[in-house]
Amino acid sequence: MGVVRPRRWQKLFDILCHTIGVPKTVSRRAHVVLPLEIIADIDKLVGKRGRSAFLAEVARDEIQRRQQRNALRAAKGAWKDEDHPELKDGAAAWVNQMRGESETRFQAIEKRRRGRS
């Protein structure tokens, strides 16, 4: 039947026992079937007690990657060159121009500041 613990300790036991290395968020067990060679490779990298944290991290990264890819696909065609004439010579040229303008403004401010001193 298992070990009987006082209720006040059960929550702490649940956190410490099965989720070492897994962020303390709401979690649910999931039955996942994996090929033995993949399990062995995971165990070599993180050990048997690190499987859940490893799989959660990999899943989180893959979900983010797929969401970003889907967002890029959904935005396809949103950029129109005619809406951005400042970039006709390329983004690098535009950035250099903006930096040059900033430097010019900075020098003018410095010149006025020195004139007041």
CA-atom Rg of the chain in angstroms: 28
Q: What angle do CA 79, 72, 92 make, to 5 degrees?
A: 50
pLDDT for 2 equals 57
Residue-wise pLDDT tens digits, 33-86: 999 999 999 999 999 999 999 999 999 999 999 999 999 999 998 888 899 999
Tokens describing residue 77: 């065609």
pLDDT for 73 equals 95
6-33: b (≥16 Cβ within 10 Å) or e: eeeeeeeeeeeeeeeebeeeeeeeeeee
The model's confidence at residue 20, banded by pLDDT at 50, 70 and 90, is: low
pLDDT for 44 equals 96
Residue-wise pLDDT tens digits, 92-111: 999 999 999 999 999 999 98
pTM tops 0.85: no
pLDDT for 89 equals 92
CA distance 92 to 58: 35
